[in-house]
Chain A
């Protein structure tokens, strides 16, 4: 009796133990799975943090490869163990944020492509060959998609801000300028005093209120909704929502406006009205389809997250409708949105690394174009395109027009409160060339630049005209 009792007890504990062992097996599989997932997703980024001591130590015994621009201009190279940069000081500054520095202060190509530049990705044969020859280990050379001359042209036009020019079909970044830039040759004793923001890459890390360029997204939501394009709003220059006033730029009253006219004139009253009609959820969904709140783990470039906050009442929803509220966007992301409209609804993955060649001259890598996401359908993209063409033709963006070319765009004038409590305005412009041969899009922000149509659109025009002259 007692014997059986004992046996049954053991059987029961055995059952319990089996369950627990299964749980252990599961948590160990979770451990393995998480390790695999986190390294394959974030491994590259974690390795490439500028303060990774492995990279700084590689610098001491490996001759880093050269960084070239798309036409072969040397942006950075190693000569006799010293790192040298482009001759021309203003060109050096114009590409400084893309190229980066060797001290690990910024996250440009010097640190982000250190795997290539210091030959961490060398294949065995190359390594054995170099070891046998007894050479100092040589990193690989990389060619970037940017053009130094285009970057310089753009940088000279911007007082403070950022601009991005991109090929919307291939995703190649032709220029990614952040002003003020820095001189990589004068960073040795640099101390960041938080006052100078020269090390800060405004194009990829700067988060700005989008202002009226966000109307592209609100317009998308309208086009996809049941609201008719001919739905009209009577604009008297301002509108009162929940006791607060929303007004159009300069208090101009636009009269009766439908979607096309409101987009042309950048009418805040129209967009705040339709935002309320659309509802917070729809607007947020549309914004997130355009990659707001997205982590952007691109392999070529670090792009900070753009933010769309959930609105919590009608006033914030209405403000979000024309890009005020708490919405924030990076200039590169703004350029990607223009690219999606221009490219029939497909947002390309931004490409910065054009190709990589070993010290021996063999090709190790050539860029591939990919679609990142497709936020909108072709038909919506085409409608938006014609609206944006009209903005440059006879709306707020006429200053961006280039004779003989079809230019599309959207201006923005985003209000913000600076640290002294003063109300300032950032000038925005996003746009593109509607041209099969020159598929270039652009985004420009001028900090404290006032009206987007007056001060950002001309820079976009300069940038696109200069891009048209590029050889390939």
Chain B
């Protein structure tokens, strides 16, 4: 029985790699095809619109001359609506369900007993995704299906692995997913109704700093970092929610006050946020906030020198931190040669690398790996688990999915109608992509490891809910832009 199961699990790895590649290729083909078609159709329409626009507004020659250079440089503005037609989206969701169901069927027979909960959870996930998709389409016809389907698939992969690592946590994560969906709907509604948060932003900034400080004062330390807060039996990670406020505040300040002197209070706010995180030893979040700040600074102002200055300041800060804080130095030393310290400080990363290497290209097969030996397997090191059980081809496909979300987010940002919306979506996109890069890069030893969750895949209520809110913000802006047309 056991051998038969193992053999099936071993063979099933081909199936999983096959399905994810089909989904990935499907998404790429559909998106590229749609992109070309829309572009053709739009160019004709746009030219007509633009001429009309020019006729309506006449300006003094001086004014036009002043801006004509920039005007020429500005690329033509394209409108790209939802890429995926109804039919192809249906097929992709069908494949996703097939993946989820086959994975959970396998998990049903793991542990030499028939685990009915596994298949129930699998069905529940498929049901949730399909219903959610239909409801979302019904309420918001202009919802961006791309930014919905990919995160749902990533979440589904996450749930499979969470359940495989621990049944209890798998179910918990599913509940958090439900909470996240509610949060996503609230975020969509809020974002599509408001124009900007106005003076509320000062409150947001204060709350954000308060959240970040709260860990310093009340938290207990998990894994050397003080980034958890215990409230009524729940462990929450304030920096996850601080992220959302941080982006909103950044978007507000940059959209209204783009002269460096004027947004000084905001700069101080950002620097203080990062410093608090460094003191709390939450280096991953500190790096994430700092990089997001720099990226948004450049996007909003386009000032190269200022941005380089910010990068330089951050670099100097990092060097000072290296010499000042022993834990920063340790991280860098481990990164340089984790194998030399594989029994103590480098244990985690070595276990992660060994897991990835053991999976090799096709993986060891779902349930056949040993991810439980990796510290923080279900949170920070979930990517190592993905690679171990599904293989690095699958892992690369997961990275490609994140890349698609980024590109899709960028398109939503470019189509947004106001500066605030544009910077908001861009901030969300930037933060998600930086977060993926920081943790995946850390796990595969491309950059020094700083602990942070992998969006949608890692276990954690705070992470799940905050990622769903970020998704809601993207969708909200997408819906708003479409509605205003």
Other-chain contact of B357, A8, A47, A127 (Cβ < 8 Å): A47
Q: Mark B132-168, 1 if CB is under 8 A from A, else 0.
A: 0000000000000000000000000000000000000
A298 within 8 A of B: no
Is A34 within 8 A of B299, CB to CB?
no
B295 within 8 A of A: yes
Is B74 within 8 A of A8, CB to CB?
yes
The CA-CA distance from A20 to B429 in the complex, in Å, is: 11
Other-chain contact of A17, B70, B301, B413 (Cβ < 8 Å): B413
Is B342 within 8 A of A31, CB to CB?
no
B26 within 8 A of A: no
Is A25 within 8 A of B406, CB to CB?
yes
B399 within 8 A of A: yes
Is A10 within 8 A of B358, CB to CB?
no
A365 within 8 A of B: no
Known A25-B403, A51-B342: A10·B410 in contact at CB below 8 Å: no
Q: Give A81-125 interface residues, CB cut-off 8 Å to B.
A: 124
Is A17 within 8 A of B410, CB to CB?
yes
A231 within 8 A of B: no
Is B396 within 8 A of A131, CB to CB?
no
Known A17-B299, A20-B430: A35·B444 in contact at CB below 8 Å: yes
Is B353 within 8 A of A27, CB to CB?
no
Other-chain contact of A28, B410, B423, B430, B433 (Cβ < 8 Å): B433
The CA-CA distance from A361 to B387 in the complex, in Å, is: 32
When distances are taken between beta carbons in the complex, the residues of chain A under 8 Å from B356 are 35, 39, 43, 46
Q: How far is the CB of A319 from chain B (nearest CB, A)?
A: 29
Q: Which secondary structure characterizes the binding site on chain A?
A: helix
Is A4 within 8 A of B57, CB to CB?
yes
The CA-CA distance from A51 to B59 in the complex, in Å, is: 74
When distances are taken between beta carbons in the complex, the residues of chain B under 8 Å from A47 are 354, 357-358, 360
Known A28-B437, A47-B360: A36·B392 in contact at CB below 8 Å: yes
B377 within 8 A of A: no
Q: Give A41-66 interface residues, CB cut-off 8 Å to B.
A: 42-47, 49, 51-54, 57
The CA-CA distance from A45 to B419 in the complex, in Å, is: 51
When distances are taken between beta carbons in the complex, the residues of chain B under 8 Å from A39 are 356-357, 360-361, 392
Q: Name which of B2-10, B38-46, B201-209, B260-268 contacts chain A.
A: B2-10
Q: Mark A1-36, 1 if CB is under 8 A from B, else 0.
A: 101101011111111111111001101101110111
Known A8-B71, A14-B414, A54-B370: A31·B358 in contact at CB below 8 Å: no
When distances are taken between beta carbons in the complex, the residues of chain A under 8 Å from B11 are 124, 127-128
The CA-CA distance from A35 to B398 in the complex, in Å, is: 12
The CA-CA distance from A54 to B372 in the complex, in Å, is: 11
When distances are taken between beta carbons in the complex, the residues of chain A under 8 Å from B350 are 49
Interface size counted on chain B using CB atoms at 8 A: 64
Is A35 within 8 A of B75, CB to CB?
no
Is B302 within 8 A of A12, CB to CB?
yes
When distances are taken between beta carbons in the complex, the residues of chain B under 8 Å from A18 are 75, 410, 414
The CA-CA distance from A12 to B429 in the complex, in Å, is: 18
Is A8 within 8 A of B70, CB to CB?
yes
Q: Which of A14, A15, A19, A25 has the most CB of B within 10 A?
A: A14
Is A31 within 8 A of B440, CB to CB?
yes
B86 within 8 A of A: no
Q: Give B297-353 interface residues, CB cut-off 8 Å to A.
A: 298-302, 339, 342, 350, 353
A243 within 8 A of B: no
Q: How far is the CB of A10 from chain B (nearest CB, A)?
A: 6
A137 within 8 A of B: yes
A247 within 8 A of B: no
A282 within 8 A of B: no
Is B360 within 8 A of A43, CB to CB?
yes
Is A46 within 8 A of B354, CB to CB?
yes
When distances are taken between beta carbons in the complex, the residues of chain B under 8 Å from A3 are 57
Known A46-B354, A54-B370: A9·B419 in contact at CB below 8 Å: yes
Other-chain contact of B422, A10, A30, A128 (Cβ < 8 Å): A10
B279 within 8 A of A: no
The CA-CA distance from A131 to B350 in the complex, in Å, is: 33
Q: How far is the CB of B80 from chain A (nearest CB, A)?
A: 13
When distances are taken between beta carbons in the complex, the residues of chain A under 8 Å from B403 are 24-25, 28
Other-chain contact of A1, B59, B301, B400 (Cβ < 8 Å): B59
When distances are taken between beta carbons in the complex, the residues of chain B under 8 Å from A45 are 357
Q: How far is the CB of B423 from chain A (nearest CB, A)?
A: 7
Q: How far is the CB of B468 from chain A (nearest CB, A)?
A: 21
B124 within 8 A of A: no
The CA-CA distance from A12 to B302 in the complex, in Å, is: 8
Known A4-B67, A17-B410, A34-B444: A127·B10 in contact at CB below 8 Å: yes
When distances are taken between beta carbons in the complex, the residues of chain B under 8 Å from A38 are 444-445
Residue of A whose beta carbon sits closest to that of B400: A32
A130 within 8 A of B: yes
Is A134 within 8 A of B3, CB to CB?
yes
| A-B contacts besides A8-B71, A52-B354, A57-B370, 19 pairs, CB < 8 Å | A4-B67, A6-B419, A13-B299, A14-B75, A14-B77, A16-B300, A20-B298, A20-B426, A28-B399, A28-B406, A32-B396, A34-B444, A35-B392, A35-B444, A43-B360, A47-B360, A124-B10, A128-B7, A131-B7
Give 11 CB contacts A-B under 8 Å: A13-B300, A13-B426, A31-B441, A32-B396, A35-B395, A35-B444, A39-B357, A46-B356, A47-B357, A128-B11, A137-B3
Which residues of B does A touch, CB under 8 Å?
A: 3-4, 6-7, 10-11, 57, 59, 63, 67, 70-71, 73-75, 77, 258, 295, 298-302, 339, 342, 350, 353-354, 356-358, 360-361, 364, 369-370, 373, 387, 392, 395-396, 399-400, 402-403, 406-407, 410, 413-414, 419, 422-423, 426, 429-430, 433, 436-437, 440-441, 444-446
The 10 closest A-B pairs by CB, nearest first: A11-B74, A46-B357, A131-B7, A43-B357, A47-B357, A21-B410, A16-B302, A16-B299, A131-B3, A28-B403
Which residues of A does B touch, CB under 8 Å?
A: 1, 3-4, 6, 8-21, 24-25, 27-28, 30-32, 34-36, 38-39, 42-47, 49, 51-54, 57, 124, 127-128, 130-131, 134, 137
